[in-house]
Every structure is written in C-alpha cells, then in structure tokens.
Structure 1
Amino acid sequence: MPDTIERVLAGQERGSWIRLRTLTMLRWGAIFGQVSALLVAQYVYQLQLEFGLAYFVVGISLAGNLIAGVVFPESKRLTEVENLLLVLFDLLQLSLLLYLTGGLNNPFSVLIMGPVTVSAVALTLRSLIFIGATAIVSVTVLARYHMPLLYHDGSELEILPIFLFGSWLAIVIGVIFLGIYSRWIASEMHAMSDALTAAKMALAREQKLTDLGGVVAAAAHELGTPLATIKLTSAELMEELDDRPELQEDARLIREQADRCRDILRSMGRAGKDDLHLRQAPLSAVLREAAEPHATRGKTIHFDEDDGPGQEGPGQEGPQPAILRRPEVIHGLRNLVQNAVDFARTSIWVEAEWSETRILVRITDDGLGYSPSVIGRIGDPFMRRRRSQRDLRQRPEYEGMGLGLFIAKTLLERTGAELSFANGSDETTGPQPPGARTGAIVEVTWPRSKIDARDGENAVKIGKNQPIEI
C-alpha cells in the first residue's frame, strides 16, 4: 500500500480534509450572532459598553472572511497549521470581545468552548492541547481583567464572586470535558471510517483477483481445443517429414510452443483452482483455497474435514455442503488463517462442521492465545496495546493494529456469519506442550440458508456460463 494511503488510514492527514469555506461559513454565523447581541445590548437594554471597539473587533473577523473569499478558492483545503491558526484567531477574537463586554459577567462567555470543540474534532492532539490551554488562560484572565458591564444609569452589572468563580470553574471543566469527549467520539468515528475503507479496498482487491482468475480460466478453456489441434497436427507433420529434417524441426518447434502455451495458461490459472466460472465450491475446497497462501510459511495446517463428499463425521450431518464462493468469504477466512499462522508455534487446525441449519468453521492454533487485555475488544479497528516481553520475544517484528481481524470480521459478517473468539487454555495453567490446541480459537458460524449454494434462496443455478463483462 502506498505511503500516502497508509498515512490517510492512520489519520495523519485528516487535518488537511477541511475546506476553507466550511470555517468561513461558521465564522459568518458567529459574526451574525455577535452583531445581533451587540445591537440588542445597545438598543433594547441600553447598556453602556465600548460599542465602537466591539464593532471594530467584529469587523476584523468580517474583513478576514472577505479577504479569504477573494484570495482563495472556495474548494481550498487547509493544512493543519492553517486550521490551527484560524481556530486560534477565532478564540482570541472572542476573548477580546468578551473583555470589552464584561468578561465572565457576560453570559455569552460559555461560547469560548466552541473553538476547543472544533479543534478536538478537526485537529491533532497537540493542536487540541494548545487550543485548550489557550482557552483556559483566556478565561482565567477574563475572570480578573475586563471592562465593566454598565447599565443605562451607570450602575455596574456584576455577579457575586462565588458565582463568578463558579462560571470560571464551569467553563474550565467544560473546555476539558468537551475536548476529551469530542476527541474520543471523533477518534472512534474516524477509526471506524478508516477501517471500513481498508475493508473495501481489501474486498475490491479480492474481487479483482477473482475476476482475473475467471478470465484466465475462460481463456484456458477456450484455447484448449485449438492448442490440442495444433499439437496433434504438428505431431503428424513430424512423422510425415522424416525425409526433410529442416521442416521436421519446424514442426517440432510448433509442438513445443503449443505445450508452452498450455503450461503458461495452467500456471496462470492456479490461483483460480478448477473453474472460476462456477460461483460455488465444496466447503473443504474453499477452506483450502483460503489457507493456500499461508501453507508454506513454516507452520503445518491441518484440515479436519476429510470425511469425503458423501460421508459424515463428528459434528457433520449429511454430505459436505457446497457454499457460495464469494470474495468476502475467501478473504475473511484467509485473514483468520493468517492470524493463526502468525501466532502459532507449529500447527493450525481448520475444522468444518455442518447441519441442516448451520455451517461452522473453527480455526485453532497451538500458540499462546489472545491476551486477556484485548480478547474483549477483538475486531475493533486500530486496536493498540502495550506488548508484553513474551510477545516481543515471540514476534519481535509484529506491529499489528487489529485491522486484519476487523477486515475479516466485517467481510464475513456481510455474508451473514457470526464470529466468536476464545482461548483454548488459560495462561495460569502454565506452559503447554507444542502441538496441543491451546491457542486462539475463532469460530465462524453461518445460517445454512445464507451461504448454501445448492439449496435455498442463494442456490446457484446451473446453466450456460455468461460472458465476463470487462
């Protein structure tokens, strides 16, 4: 994956997603509200304030909006620094306006939490801390230093000191709470959005590979007859040209090249197994296909579904089912097998069970299992945790974020599956011998009607293959 995509998925460039137009529209709303408040204070309540300076401060924001609209296009995306400077400007402008209108005696002082909330959603943690600290300093200064709020008869409107302290404390707590709360919620939403994007990319890649395999299989099928004809004809020519060695050599070359074409088509079609035009396959074939890329990574993968298509085994009712060979199923199971291979000591077991109502796939390994600190959060995207020394010794190169399991869980659930995660043994029981099923256990369970390719609403109709649209 390119570095740019990785940074976007990690949220490192999210600060550059906001348009200048968005912030200017918010500022227009703030300007309208500030002017309205000043007009009401001046003409309705007849307060004695420094209205000239107050309108001047509002005019600075208005001028900034007008200049931004003229100099920059509406579609301009702001950088992290530009976003920080604009939010900081709005915070300082509001603080100066509050200084001119009574400080914390002004009930609109609670609006100082607005820029903090915006920075929590749009900016990095470092910028959020800076904006939050600036807001707290501004509120503290405004509690002590501000121009008096005078009534029309010259009397000062001032709340009691205890209420002034309560207002200061409420705003400070609000800044901290809203900053943390907004940041937390935004991070959860961004993580889920990024992970879903990654899942869509993985599914699109698997779909392209599936379609490519179908094209290769179709080409191999269509070219099989002409290549066989060329090979047969060239063999007959070789027999008839015994007395003309130079022409016989040409016929031999034609036969060799026909064999070469056959081998190339066969090797290209390996990823597609038999015939990718078929949208169904036996359950065992799908499981083996999903595990195939990890079969040569030094761990032994055991398949416990070898009872044959017409036989029954433990946990198996009736003949082995044929299931829909969907990219979501293959890629999801492949990610689960990959995770098992990553953490197994020597062996992985892939088991299949079925009945008239359900199909179950269980993937087990002989590793150390899931850590108790994360087993309740498995499947969450970008899940990070502090790794123990045991983990570092086992897999010093591993820097997983839980994205693979999230993609597997998301894709399989799209097909109607339910996933459960558990451990084969408890860490407190001590070390277990290699080869025992003591590691992580993942069970994938489908209602049979959701994935059965022979019976029910999802049954694949057998008929003439349709041309692949490219």
Structure 2
Amino acid sequence: MSLTEFGLMGEHNRSNWIRLRTIILLRWFAIVGQLGALTVAQWLFDLQLELGLCYLAVGVSVMGNMVAIFVFPENKRLSESENLLMLMFDLLQLCFLLYLTGGLHNPFALLVLGPVTVSATVLTLRSTVLLGGTAFALITALVVWHVPLHTASGQILRLPDIFVFGQWAAISIALIFISIYARRITHEMHAMSDALAATQMALARAQKLNDLGGVVAATAHELGTPLATIKLASSELIEELEDRPDLQEDAQLIRDQADRCRDILRSMGQVGKDDLHMRQAPLSEVIREAAEPHQGRGKEIHIEERPGPGATEAQPQILRRPEVIHGLRNLVQNAVDFARAHIWIEAVWTDTHVSVRIVDDGQGFPPQLIGRIGDPFVRQRRSAADRRSRPEYEGMGLGLFIAKTLLERTGAELNFANGSDPFLPSTEQGERRGAIVEVVWPRARIVSEAGQRGVAMGKNRPLEI
C-alpha cells in the first residue's frame, strides 16, 4: 500500500471512528439538559409551555436511545450515512423543541450549532453542507413560525425585531464559520496523523531492512570458516581419489556446492560489511548508501566531503541509523525529481557539528511555499510546462515531511532555501541555483562513541536474537 493510498483510506474511514455508544451518551446529556430547562422554565419562571408536545419531543429522543441500546451492540461504529441520520435526527428534534418554546427568542437556539460542528469534524463535505443547509433553513423558518412564550399573567416574552435579526445573523454566520474552522483544524490533525503513521511505516521498513542486513552479514561472517574448511577438505579428497572416479565426482560436487554457498552469502551480504559496520560508517559512505537508489535516474549526483574550519582531515564515523539513511534518501529523491542534470551533496564536519547540504540545479522551491516545507500533504497547483517535464510526478510534500521527521528525531536541524532568486534571468544565476536543503547535527548526536574517541571499533559482538 502506498503512502498516498494510506492517507486516502484514512480519510474515507474517519466517519467510522465514532461509536454508537458515544452518540447515545451525548444524547442522554442533551435529554437531561432539555428536561432540566423545561422544569426550570415551568416552575421557576412560571412560563406557559406546550408541555405535552415538549415532553413528546424529548420522549422521541429517549425512545431513539432505548432502541439503539437494545437493538445494536455497544461496540457498533456508525457509517457515514448512519452518522448523518443520527445528527439530522438530533437537529430536527432540537428545532422542533425550539419551535414550541419561542423560536429564536429562546437563548438555547445557539445549540443548533452542535450537530453541524460534529458533522464538520467527522463527516464528508457533502454531508456537512446538507446538514448545515438544513440548519440554516430551520432557523430561518423559526424567525417567522414558532409558539410564543407566555407568562402566567398572559404576557408574551419576545425580543425586539432587531435582536431577533441579530440572533438569526449570528447563528447563520456561526454555522458557516465554525463549520469551516472545525473542518480545517480537523483536516490538519488528520493530515498530521496520517503523515506520522506513514513515517512510522517507513521507519519500520527501513529498520527491518537494516536488521536483515545485519543478520545476513553476521551469517556470512560466521559461516565463512566452516565453508572454507569444507572446500579445503573436499579439494584434498579430489586429489586422493584420482583412482576412484565415482567418489572423486562426489567430492567435486561437495566443493562446488561450498563455492555456491559462499557466492550466495556474498551476494546477500552486499548490504553490509559486518555487524559493526551496520552500526557506524564514515560520513561519506552513509551518504553514498542513501543516494545509491537514485544514481541511475538520469541525473548526476556529486558527493563532496571536506572538513570545516579548525577540524581534522579525517571524516567522522557516524551512527548508521535507519532514520538518517531513510531521511537523506528522501531528500536526495526530492532533489533528483526536480533537478535538471546535477545534484551536489556536500558533507562538512567541524569539532562541534556535522552538516550535509543537498543542492540541485533545478528551479528551486516555490517562494510562497518555503515557509510550509516539511508540512504533510502540501500540494502546489502544477503548471502545464511542469506536467510536461515531469508527467509522472505527483508530489504531496509527504516525502519531505517524513525526511524532516526522521532526521529531527536523530537531533538534526533542517533548513530549506533556494540557491538564487528564481525571478532572476538564467544568465545571472549560478550553477547551483536550485533548492538547498541543509541538515545539521550536533557532533555528539550523530558521531559514534568510537568515532568521538578516535579508537578502533573493537571485536565484533555476537548477535543477540
């Protein structure tokens, strides 16, 4: 499953996140509140209400809850259409109760925002528009059609028309504003959640590949001696069995199979040298490993390494962590996607920091998006020329988000910039004029302990399984 498909699947299934039990519990709170408001209005303020119809409206909610409790299991999760029907029922029940108790002259008219806000949070845009349109139509009708509130003395309680109009306008604006606000915030939260899940998937995959490489390398190392012994003994048997061709042929087969096992282990172990090399490696080797999958994509990748001011010539041995390799690989992939012909990877180290700069000769980052780079699902409208130059590319910013998240987890700080002003003519721009991504680690966070002390790695340790 691709990361995009993962995000879309989460988008379509979010309406299933709400349990029926949650809706039932919230409805019980609403029922208690409605009964309490009716009781206070009757006994404390002595309002003359259509109590029969009011209690009928509340009783419908009670019956709906009872049916839901006894018919459906407690762990049932509501589908999109079921969620919409439940919220629509609550909206209609509330508006009917408002009709019986003064319409927009009732201060509890603001509660119509509740179902629409919930819809904007968990349902699709179509369902939210349908529910919001229904709420708008109902509150508009309540301005004209409602049962007035009467006191015991027969006095009608009503707001001035200008206040009723203000109440209607405020609720109408709130229906739009709160729906957009809740939907936008929820979308941001879901996008971040999906992207973090995709990051965890990518990291888990990289960790499994890293562990597999270590197991293969350790296996190749451990089996090297017995295979060499088998080959030596079979070679001696071949010489001693010259007068026994049938047995000599068997000895030859043993030696050939030992050579075959050696070749298989060698090919499987190409991902790593030995178990300690799986944990740390020179800075330039880690960069080459990260860039290797993109070497054959028609763009030339140049790797440059040099010490910074006051640093020693020997490059540091850095921790070969999956987060580092996978994060740098995503940054290189982004550079290759947008470069014209060349990508430069500059590795610089000092006594306090280790930095990697990835520069390309493309058009650079869009100036209006530089501040948002690293956020998930940032999509820019592509021009016709861009579609022709990269018809297969459908970037959503997820790769850069994953890279940024993984590298920051290792203690790195990322900076995004352009090599030159994209609005300058091409004749005034330098060769390295495209996007620049700089990754900077504190030396203590990325350089291995052995590399910090400048000592040998020591003996290989046995693999713990």
Counterpart of 2:400, as a letter, is: L
Q: TM-score, normalised by structure 2?
A: 0.95
Which structure 1 residue ranges, 5 or more long, are not aligned? 306-310
**Is the counterpart of residue 428 in structure 1 residue 457 in structure 2?**
no
TM-score, length-normalised on structure 1? 0.94
* In structure 1, distance between residues paired with 2:318 and 2:3: 37
Residues 99-141 of structure 1, C-alpha deviations (whole Å, 9 max, x = no match):
0111000010011111111111111111111111111111101
SS at match of 1:345: coil
Q: What is the rounded CA distance, in whole Å, between the counterparts of 1:316 and 1:369 in structure 2?
A: 31
SS of the residue corresponding to residue 449 of structure 2 reads coil
Q: CA deviation at 1:391?
A: 1.6
Report the Cα distance in structure 2 between the residues aligned to 1:182 and 1:444, rounded to whole angstroms.
35
Larger deviation: 169-178 or 455-464?
Answer: 455-464
Which residue does the alignment assign to 1:359?
A: 354
Are 2:367 and 1:372 aligned? yes
Q: How many residues align?
A: 465
CA distance in 1, matches of 2:244, 2:165: 111
Q: Which runs of 5+ in 2 are unaligned?
A: none
CA distance in 2, matches of 1:119, 1:290: 44
Distance 1:317 1:389 in 2: 50
Number of the residue aligned with 1:75 = 75
In 2, Cα distance between equivalents of 1:388 and 1:395: 11
CA distance in 1, matches of 2:246, 2:430: 62
Deviation at residue 271 of structure 1 after TM alignment: 2.0
The offset of 1:264, in angstroms, is 0.9
Among 428, 431, 435, which residue is 1:440 paired with? 435
Name the counterpart of 1:245: 245
2:368 is the alignment partner of 1:401:
no
User: 1:452 maps to which residue?
Assistant: 447
Residue 9 of structure 1, CA deviation:
5.5
1:87 CA drift (Å)? 0.8
Residues 1:150 and 2:145 are matched in the alignment: no
Indicate if the aligned counterparts of 1:359 and 1:445 stay in contact, CA closer than 8 A: yes
Structure 2 equivalent of residue 382 of structure 1: 377
Q: Deviation of residue 323 (structure 1)?
A: 0.9
- Compute the displacement of 1:275 (Å): 3.6
- The residue type paired with residue 147 of structure 1 is V
Question: What residue number does 2:95 align with?
Answer: 95
- The separation in 2 between residues aligned to 1:85 and 1:191, in whole angstroms, is 26
C-alpha separation in 2, matches of 1:303 and 1:77: 53
Superposed, which structure 2 residues align to 1:286-435 within 5 Å? 286-305=286-305, 312=307, 317-431=312-426
SS of 2:433's partner is: coil
Structure 2 CA distance for aligned equivalents of residues 460 and 264 of structure 1 = 33
- CA-atom RMSD, angstroms? 2.3
Q: Distance in 1 between matches of 2:2 and 2:65?
A: 37
User: What's the % identity of the aligned pairs?
Assistant: 65
Q: What CA distance in whole angstroms lies between the structure 1 residues aligned with 2:389 and 2:378?
A: 19
Hey, what's the Cα distance between the residues in 2 that align with 1:458 and 1:136? 71
Q: Secondary structure at the match of 2:195?
A: helix
| Per-residue CA distance 1:351-403 (angstroms, 9 max, x = gap) | 10010111000011122211223222111101112112232122111111100
The aligned runs of 1:270-289 (5 Å cut-off) are: 270-275=270-275, 278-289=278-289
**1:451–1:458 CA contact under 8 A, matched in 2:** no
- Which residue identity does 1:22 align to in structure 2? T
- Once the two structures are TM-superposed, the CA of residue 467 in structure 1 deviates from its matched residue by 4.5
Deviations 1:295-325 (CA, angstroms, capped at 9, x unpaired): 12222111102xxxxx857895442111111
Q: Residues 276 and 457 of structure 2 are in contact (CA less than 8 Å); yes or no, is this contact kept in structure 1?
A: no
Q: Residue by residue, what CA displacement relative to the aligned partner does 1:174-221 show, whole Å, maximum 9, x if unpaired? A: 111111111111111111111111111111111111111111111111
Distance, in Å, in 1 between the alignment partners of 2:45 and 2:123 is 39
How far the C-alpha of 1:277 sits from its partner, in A, is 5.9
Deviations 1:379-431 (A, max 9, x none): 11011121122321221111111000000000000111000111122222234
Match of 1:197 in 2: 197
- Tell me if structure 2 keeps the 8 A contact 1:346–1:434: no
8 Å Cα contact 1:453/1:459 also seen in 2: no
Output the CA distance in 1 between the equivalents of 2:52 and 2:355: 75
Deviation at 1:241, TM superposition (A): 1.8
Indicate the SS of the match to 2:355. strand
Query: Which residue type is aligned with residue 362 of structure 1?
Result: R
1:22, distance to aligned residue in structure 2 (A): 1.1
- Inter-CA distance 373–391: structure 2 relative to 1 (3 Å threshold): farther
Specify the alignment match of 1:308 in structure 2: none
Residue 276 to residue 146, structure 1, CA distance change in 2 (3 Å): farther
Correspondence for 2:37: 37
- How do 1:115-130 and structure 2 match up within 5 A? 115-130=115-130
How far residue 71 of structure 1 moved from its aligned partner, in angstroms, is 1.1
CA-to-partner distance for each residue in 1:250-288, whole Å, 9 max, x for gaps? 222111111111111111111234445642111111111
Say if 1:8 and 1:388 are closer, same or farther in 2 by CA, change over 3 A.
closer
